Amino acid sequence: MRKIVALLCAACLTAAPRTVCAAMADSAKSACVINGTTGEVIFAKNETEKLPMASTTKIMTAITAIDHSSPDEIVTVSAAAASQEGSSAYIEPGMEVCMQDLLYGLMLNSGNDAAYAIAEHISGSVEEFAELMNKKTEEIGLNNTHFKNPSGLEDKEHYTTALDLALTARRAMSIPAIREIVGTQKYQTKTDNTDKVLYFSNHNKMLKMYEGATGVKTGFTRAAGRCLVSSAKRDGMEFIAVTLCDPNDWKDHTEMLDYAFSKYYPKRIVEKGMTVKTAKIGGEKYAMTAAEDFVIPLRESGGNTIDVISHISQDLAAPINAGEKVGYLEIRYDGKTVGSVDVVSESDIMENGNIEIGNSFYAHFRRVTEKLLV
């Protein structure tokens, strides 16, 4: 591991302060918007107040399910799961449904039956599955969240905060399978042992009404009121908004996301195809390049430290195929890892032998730094 360089995004190293704006989300009991890449809080209102969160619970259900199962596992639906009250994926007792399809029913239809079936399959009971969810809160670093079930049905010991829910969504959107599901508007599938076709439709209207919307989840019970977690991405920048108990959530989320996009600009920290390292073998030089761009949303007025750390083995040996991963770049924002980019070989390296790794990345990255500081 080798730290290449630190980017100072302004002369001042103090992070920009969180903005509280009373004009936004005034109908919500609590609300917040975070930077989806860094987790920085952009706007907040009662963001640490413990409140019920209805079916936005299912964001954590999906995270936990993916951690403890594979998408092609077959789940046999029990009578207890099929009879769950509230919103439904319309699964029936005895149906055999693959886990991936159940996750679509969970997140699009907000199926309480799907949540129950997933919990039973993985843990044997809702109670045991809820404990897995609670362990996940510790891993993510949520301080004010507790789960009693995977669906969000009312329970006085089932609660979260707007901030914790935003951080939960940030974790979920880092998982490609969940990102794909929550960005899907319609989905249909057949069960393994019946001819019945299941049709799922996303309840999240933001996907249609907001430019760049990517997710995430709606929720409602009489105790919790209208709850919404939304996300949107433009120019490589993604923001996540949350409101709890908000009768005007579509309007409020539009305003909060607009506010976030107006306060940040996209900074491309890593460019796809840029040479990270050079490899030398048999007198020939080969380039090791970044497999994709990496963008961090930055404030015009704030200063933060960005570190890029190279993780490339010094013991690489040929042959190596073009496009083969040889390492990765770790991107840190104010000391915390916020993402990574694979490093791949630009071309085939067919000559057998040990490879000598050079240091060409530093000069390229220094030029990026100088542009950033102008």
Which of 178, 243, 235, 179 has the alpha carbon at shortest distance from 212?
A: 235
Query: What pLDDT score was predicted for residue 3?
Result: 44
For residues 51 and 6, membership in a common domain is answered with no
Bridge partners (DSSP) of residue 198 are 189
The pLDDT of residue 360 is 54
Catalytic residue check, 340: no
Say whether 313 is catalytic. no
| 339, 193: one domain | no
Tell me if 223 is assigned to some domain. yes
Residue 361: the pLDDT is: 53
pLDDT at 372 over 70: no
How much is the pLDDT for 344? 95
Contact 158, 152 (CB under 8 A): yes
- Between CA 217 and CA 227 the distance in angstroms is 9
Answer yes or no: do 236 and 339 share one domain: no
Residues 6 or more apart whose Cβ sits within 8 Å of residue 226: 218, 219, 220, 243, 245, 246, 247, 249
**Which tokens belong to 198?**
């299941």
Are 208 and 290 members of one domain?
Answer: no
Q: Which of 30, 45, 87, 110 is catalytic?
A: 110
Instruction: Assess whether 110 carries a catalytic annotation.
Output: yes
Tally of domains in the chain? 2
CATH number, position 242: 3.40.710.10
Structural domain includes residue 264: no
Q: CATH no. for residue 368?
A: 2.60.410
**Angle subtended by helix axes 126-140 and 112-123, to nearest 10:** 90
- Report the distance separating Cα 111 and Cα 71, nearest Å: 17
Q: Would you say residue 25 lies in a domain? A: no
**What is the spatial distance between Cα 366 and Cα 362, in angstroms, rounded to a whole number?**
6
CA-nearest of 319, 326, 373, 372 to 348 is 319
State pLDDT tens for residues 264-306.
999 999 999 999 988 888 778 889 999 999 999 998 776 778 9
Q: Is the pLDDT of residue 1 over 80?
A: no
Give the range of the structural domain holding residue 354, as residue numbers without chain letter: 2-10+269-373
30, 45, 58, 263: which is the annotated catalytic residue?
58
Domain-located, residue 310: yes
Please, which residues bridge with residue 336 across strands? 333
Task: Give CA–CA dist 30/40, Å, rounded.
Answer: 17
Q: Are residues 63 and 211 in the same domain?
A: yes
Which DSSP state fits 230? E
Choice among 30, 45, 55, 310 that is catalytic:
55
